[in-house]
Amino acid sequence: MIPVLYLVIPCYNEEEVLRETTRQLLERLKVLKENGKIAEDSRILYVNDGSGDKTWELISSLYEEHDEVSGLNLSRNRGHQNAVLAGLMYAKECADAVISLDADLQDDVKTIDKMMEEYHSGFDIVYGVRNSRKTDSFFKKNTAQAFYKFMRMMGVDIIYNHADFRLMSKRVLDELEHYKEVNLFLRGIVPLIGFPSTCVYYERHERFAGESKYPLRKMLSFAVNGITSFSTKPIRLITTLGFVICLVSVVMLIYSLASYFAGRAESGWSSLIVSIWALGGLQLSAIGIIGEYIGKMYLETKERPKFCIQDILDR
């Protein structure tokens, strides 16, 4: 059976790029259809993530112009991860395979062919992995690399240099639906799901037009979210630190006792001050970390919907 492929594209203020993106993706779909790799009703699904510009109007007119274009309009900006999820969950009802990619053409569209080849040879998940960061600014390159290294250090299993350019089969998406968490970090969840998976490598381009919608502030909160959603290593680090500080306090205690018996006065003071600092520091950081996790439990128990679709354009 020839698979139906959906390309899910989150768009946040992307009016400058969407026409060109559509042109290139339609061309890709055409080639794949001609080669019999994907079914005739394969299409592009744009997810408008509460853009403030004319993105949704543009998606609507692209929908009118091309049979292969569909659109979802989220009721407000919910962030990249939620926009992707909205698209994936919608697409999985009609598709056999779904590829998520950025609107700005940074993910090389030719890689879609390679992904489909891997899909045909039996893989359920195909990760798009960039093989260099030549096109990134010095700042982005270094922060991104630090991000992946730090995530690994913190015990989060993510694919190095893989963002959200990936193919997933319908059954993977059916599983993904069961991950009900509010703090969504797809890069962390997808490897947890399992199924046969592989990587394809590609050269990442410069943003075609417009500017990045991921300022440092968003990147930092993304990283913190990734770590605290997936790893309890921070707690373990604190525990270790606690042990070390306790040992130091014991040493200090012995030292001050020794000073006392040796007749060097003012002995009580040093031990007291040491205990106060050690306990205070330990308690404060432990409370902070526990608080972080309690905060997460709080959000999870609320089970807020991650997205809310306002309009649907589909045939």
Binding residues for Mg ion (CB under 5 A): 102, 104, 106
Distance from the first to the final alpha carbon of the chain: 22
Span near ligand UDP by CB under 6 A; candidates 78-86, 117-125, 249-257, 301-309: 78-86
State the binding partner of 170 from Mg ion, ligand UDP, none, CB within 5 to 8 A by kind.
none
Q: Closest distance between ligand UDP and the C-beta of residue 130, in Å? A: 11
- Rounded CA separation 17/211 (Å): 10
Q: Are 260 and 241 in contact (CB under 8 A)?
A: no
Nearest to 125 by CA among 187, 177, 198: 198
A 10 A CB-CB count for 161 gives 18
* 12 is an interface residue for ligand UDP by CB under 6 A: yes
State the binding partner of 16 from Mg ion, ligand UDP, none, CB within 5 to 8 A by kind.
none
Span near ligand UDP by CB under 6 A; candidates 35-43, 101-109, 241-249, 297-305: 101-109
* Strand, coil or helix: 181: coil
Helix H or strand E encompassing 270: helix 267-302
Contact flags string 183-222 toward ligand UDP, x per CB under 6 A: -----------------------------xxx--------
* 21 is an interface residue for ligand UDP by CB under 6 A: no
Nearest to 313 by CA among 96, 14, 38, 48: 48
Which tokens in the block code for residue 292?
């972080």
Residue 143 vs 249, nearer CB to ligand UDP: 143
* 79 is an interface residue for ligand UDP by CB under 6 A: yes
Span near ligand UDP by CB under 6 A; candidates 77-85, 150-158, 165-173, 270-278: 77-85
* 106 is an interface residue for ligand UDP by CB under 6 A: yes
* 107 is an interface residue for ligand UDP by CB under 6 A: no
Residue 14 vs 118, nearer CB to ligand UDP: 14
Q: Closest distance between ligand UDP and the C-beta of residue 293, in Å? A: 26
Which tokens in the block code for residue 315?
């045939």
Which residue type does 226 have?
A: G
- Rounded CA separation 46/6 (Å): 10
Q: Counting runs of H as helices and runs of E as strands, what totals does the chain give? A: 10, 8
Q: Closest distance between ligand UDP and the C-beta of residue 307, in Å? A: 11
Q: Closest distance between Mg ion and the C-beta of residue 221, in Å? A: 17
Which residue type does 14 have?
A: E
- Rounded CA separation 103/176 (Å): 22
- Rounded CA separation 89/98 (Å): 10
Residue 11 vs 156, nearer CB to ligand UDP: 11
* 108 is an interface residue for ligand UDP by CB under 6 A: no
Q: Are 11 and 48 in contact (CB under 8 A)?
A: yes
Q: Closest distance between ligand UDP and the C-beta of residue 98, in Å? A: 15
- Applying CB under 6 A, the residues found at the interface with ligand UDP are 10-12, 14, 49, 77, 79-80, 83, 102-104, 106, 212-214
